[in-house]
Structure 1
Amino acid sequence: MTDQATPPETSTDLWSAIDALWTWLETDQPIGGREGVLLRMLKLSEEVGEVAEAVIGATGQNPRKGVTHTWDDVQGELCDVVITALVALRTLTPDAREVFDRHLTRVTERSLGSPS
């Protein structure tokens, strides 16, 4: 049995993929420097908007359009938000994995309590 307050370890494959995506974006970015960093952070807002669009589409809340998405679409858009956030974090620090793990531990302990 695992302790609830201990956050799960993040996958090495996840961080390898994040590093690869970051490298690809860094190699091919049309705008670099501080402006490029800010634009990468703004990409998160775009992805969150796509989640909202998918939820509205999955629930048929737009009477003009009806049902245009599925809950699988929502799941995919949520994954895009997570990936985009991790790449943004990697843009700010090469120690993204350690920063994320430390933060996840703090949030888990704060929310679920310290391990006994």
Structure 2
Amino acid sequence: MPTPHPMTRKIAATLREIREKKNMKQSAIADALNIEVSNVSRMENGKHDITGTQFVLWCDKLDITPSSICTVVEADLTDDSNTGRFAQLISQMTSNKKDQWFDYGEYLLEQKPPRADAS
């Protein structure tokens, strides 16, 4: 399995820091994400990617907004060209636009997938 991108690792480390500050166990995150505790550990330690859905659910469990994590990560990004470009795009977004982006992500998560037997 490829190593997660530096930005993904920074997001995971930030999520871990917040979880620890809230005295929340990895098992609570695992339950919210419907995954094994060992996978939460791998994610927090930068050894396993976090999907967009997992990211939003994780933030919800921590009672934080996804945009708040992006703001923290923005400040600590490396000079990697792709990461730098992403940081530049995010920094140009207003807080309102960032919130709209994540609201849309949360809306998509609320939609039920079509049933496999539906025609």
- TM-score normalised to the size of structure 1? 0.31
- TM-score normalised to the size of structure 2? 0.30
Structure possessing the higher radius of gyration over alpha carbons: 1
- Return the structure number with greater relative CO, CA threshold 8 A, min gap 6: 1
